[in-house]
Amino acid sequence: MPSMTYREALNQALAEEMERDPTVYLMGEEVGHYQGAYKVSQGLLARFGEKRVIDAPIAECGFAGIGVGSAMVGLRPVIEFMTWNFSLVAIDQIVNNAAKIRQMSGGQFAIPIVFRGPSGAAAQVGAQHSQALESYYVHIPGLKVVAPSTPADAKGLLKASIRDDNPVVFMENETLYSTQGEVPAGEHLVPLGRGDVKRVGTHCTIVAWGKAVHTGLAAAKLLAAEGIELEVVDPRTLRPLDEELIFESVKKTGRLVVVQESWPVASFGVDIAYRVQRACMDELDAPVEVVSSADVPMPYARNLELEVLPSADDVVAAVRRALYLV
């Protein structure tokens, strides 16, 4: 399989879907003439023209609303936020319109729209640009929430999201755009709601998504030197969640550490912990651990930023607690 970056995989998914289906279009800030803030849309304007690659003004609520309206009348918009932090300006359109219109219309309107863009912390971009907001959106019935961790998953999940008849919140971690990985050529789809085991192990299950998958894998590598084998499960889609894959892994290992970049209070990681203790109580040999960012706004200083974000060492410490090694 060819190797490419995460951003190239997303670009390929967009190009393939726009070529396949003329109702698919891209709208957002700097997606056209600037080729995308993170170059995900590079080359698309020249290939598909200004009617299908639309540079929007700095007005997230406005162009998100245009996307919802166009989805109601048969188009398949992909709405790019320059960062998911800016989606908060458009949260009324996402939560009160996109998520609810299909149900409130008795199914008369499908809302085949994808809201996508970078999520989580980058490096020293400040508290207002360093938030992992998946717990906000996974809370909302009517939305699907996706968080790919690899280039192959990014391509396959984006293609599946564009073809879905429901609104999809597609969160691309800001630090993953340059990561490399093998990506199947041509028609590669990853079904929404189906997770993946990124590493097989026997002593403890790690559940993580997006960038946190790589944190979990780094912890697994550290502990493997001591003979402790972690199983890393990536749900890929947070809503709908592949519960059975997680339960199967926890029943095998008897332990669970959830790793997330978002804050700990009322987070999706806590929701996973609840679901697992309810379904796997008899198989659990230790309390579920949840590793999160510190419960503070992100500092600007790099040394403090690294203290706030979950690290491989934090995951190792949580696994040791779960194994009663401390």
Q: What is the CATH number of the domain that holds 153?
A: 3.40.50.970
Residue 186: its pLDDT value, please?
Answer: 82
DSSP 137: H
Specify whether 86 is located in the same domain as 54.
yes
Give residue-wise pLDDT tens across range 141-185: 999 999 999 999 999 999 999 999 999 999 999 999 999 999 998
Handedness of CA 51, 55, 57, 61 (dihedral sign): positive
Distance (Å, rounded) from C-alpha 125 to C-alpha 122? 7
Distance (Å, rounded) from C-alpha 258 to C-alpha 147? 15
Task: For 246-306, give the DSSP string.
Answer: HHHHHHHHS-EEEE-SS-STT-HHHHHHHHHHHHHTTT-SSPPEEE---SSPPPSSHHHHH
Boundary of a domain, candidates 182, 204, 223: 182
Give the tokens for residue 198: 């990124």
The residue annotated as part of the active site, out of 16, 29, 60, 172, is 60
Boundary of a domain, candidates 156, 182, 208: 182
Residue 191 within a domain: no
How many C-beta atoms surround the C-beta of residue 175 within 10 A? Answer: 18
Give residue-wise pLDDT tens across range 191-217: 999 999 999 999 999 999 999 999 999
Task: For 83-135, give the DSSP string.
Answer: SGGGGGGGHHIIIIIITTHHHHTTTS-----EEEEEES--SS--GGG----HH
Range(s) of the domain holding residue 252: 196-322
Average pLDDT over residues 252-268: 97
CA distances from 126 to 63, 91, 132, 303, 309 (A): 25, 21, 13, 13, 13
Specify whether 50 is located in the same domain as 91.
yes
Residue 249: its pLDDT value, please?
Answer: 98
Distance (Å, rounded) from C-alpha 125 to C-alpha 144? 28
Distance (Å, rounded) from C-alpha 147 to C-alpha 209? 6
The residue annotated as part of the active site, out of 8, 16, 17, 129, is 129
Q: What is the CATH number of the domain that holds 290?
A: 3.40.50.920
Boundary of a domain, candidates 147, 182, 217: 182
Give residue-wise pLDDT tens across range 101-139: 999 999 999 999 999 999 999 999 999 999 999 999 999
Give residue-wise pLDDT tens across range 29-78: 999 999 999 999 999 999 999 999 999 999 999 999 999 999 999 999 99
Give the tokens for residue 282: 């008899």
Residue 1: its pLDDT value, please?
Answer: 85
Specify whether 96 is located in the same domain as 169.
yes
pLDDT band at residue 235 under the 50/70/90 scheme: very high
Helix, strand, coil % in the chain, rounded to nearest 5: 40, 20, 45
Q: Is 203 a catalytic residue?
A: no
